[in-house]
Amino acid sequence: MNRHRHRRGRAGSALILVFWCLLLLSLAVFGVVEIVELSVEHAAHEQSALLAEAAASSGVAVGEEPQLLRDDPVLTQETAPGSGFEVTISSEGARLNLNFLLITHHQDVLVSLFTHWGMKMDEAQHAAACLYDWVTPGDQASLNGAKSAAYASAGLTQRPSHEPFRSWDEVAQVMGVDAIAAVKPDWRDSFTIWSDGPLDVSQASAESIAAVFGLDPERVQQIVDMRDGRDKLPGTPDDVPLTPATLQAALGLSADQMKALANEIVFGGNTRRIESIGHAGAVRVKITAVTRMSVSPPQLVVWSKR
């Protein structure tokens, strides 16, 4: 009797062990299947990303065509089933050129814009002066500004380059810039360091034009709305070309006032911003290219992907 009980106990233990082995084997199989599925999904995503990037690159190539208009239908294309690109082209000069404003001693334009965004006057003047001191030669700081000695006193390792800015990473090192970002995190979208210099009023925003002219942005917005046509959208067929005469009349400026601004504004620029969004399935890749169109072939200045 005891022998039979012992045998049944051993058989029960073996059965439990078999069940545990089957459970562990099932878990291992499920794990392998999940890893394979993740690997397949990753490979599919990588393939879609490559297709989306290729489509975005094709869009940039299309956008570099010098004769292309901003509303041309070729700016939106399907390059293959499920993939394609959408391109937006604009004038890089429609953004305020930071280097140009500083080198031509127009910190007042910066102060006007910064205070419009909500900065206190002393903070705006400090930021503008520090930007000016960074790009201009000499060790004598301007009023409210900062040269090398001020950075050393603050325990900072960076020093003014005494040259125009070459990248936005360099701009970020300047004293006072953090205060601009605090009131307007996307402040850099209003500026460029790659255009020819003067503001292209044919595409610029109302607040940028207002800062250059020293006017109320709401007043200038009426001119921008007129320029953008009935749909109030830039780059569409109903846009109204802005000319020196129409701008002067709309703003009520004298001939002398327009003449004084002759070197600060233009009505069309030679540097183009091309923003191309390529898609493949659910994946999107955006490529931004800044290109000088005044040379042949067009000269690429900046290329960025995200």
What per-residue confidence (pLDDT) applies to 198? 95
Query: Are 304 and 288 a contacting pair, CB within 8 Å?
Result: yes
What per-residue confidence (pLDDT) applies to 45? 66
- Residue predicted with more confidence, 124 or 258: 124
Reply yes or no on whether the pLDDT at 25 is more than 70. Answer: no
Four-point Cα dihedral 182, 184, 185, 189, nearest 10: -150
What per-residue confidence (pLDDT) applies to 171? 97
> What is the percentage of the chain residues whose pLDDT exceeds 90?
60
pLDDT band (50, 70, 90) for residue 81: confident
Reply yes or no on whether the pLDDT at 83 is more than 60. Answer: yes
Backbone angles phi, psi at 4, to 5 degrees: -65, -40
**Mean pLDDT, rounded, for 104-119:** 95
- Residue predicted with more confidence, 237 or 114: 114
pLDDT band (50, 70, 90) for residue 28: low
- The 8-class DSSP code of residue 49 comes to H
Reply yes or no on whether the pLDDT at 47 is more than 90. Answer: no
Reply yes or no on whether the pLDDT at 41 is more than 80. Answer: no
Which tens digit of pLDDT belongs to each residue from 87-100?
999 999 999 999 99
- The 8-class DSSP code of residue 239 comes to -
What per-residue confidence (pLDDT) applies to 280? 92
What is the C-alpha to C-alpha distance for residues 88 and 76, in angstroms, rounded to an integer? 9
Mean pLDDT computed over every residue of the chain:
87
Reply yes or no on whether the pLDDT at 294 is more than 60. Answer: yes
Query: Are 19 and 248 a contacting pair, CB within 8 Å?
Result: no
Reply yes or no on whether the pLDDT at 136 is more than 60. Answer: yes
Reply yes or no on whether the pLDDT at 2 is more than 60. Answer: no
What per-residue confidence (pLDDT) applies to 30? 57
Give the HSE-up count for residue 25: Cα atoms under 13 Å, Cβ half-sphere: 6
Reply yes or no on whether the pLDDT at 3 is more than 80. Answer: no
Reply yes or no on whether the pLDDT at 288 is more than 80. Answer: yes
H helical segments located in the chain:
2-63, 98-103, 107-116, 121-135, 148-153, 168-171, 177-183, 206-213, 217-227, 244-251, 255-260
What per-residue confidence (pLDDT) applies to 121? 97
Q: What is the pTM of this model?
A: 0.82
Of 28-37, 139-148, 279-288, the range with the lowest mean pLDDT is 28-37
Reply yes or no on whether the pLDDT at 1 is more than 60. Answer: no
What per-residue confidence (pLDDT) applies to 250? 86
What per-residue confidence (pLDDT) applies to 260? 86
Q: Going by C-beta distance under 8 Å and a sequence separation of 6 or more, which residues neighbour residue 51?
A: 80, 83, 278, 280, 283
Pairing assessment for the beta strands 271-280 and 83-91 based on DSSP bridges: antiparallel
What is the C-alpha to C-alpha distance for residues 201 and 216, in angstroms, rounded to an integer? 16
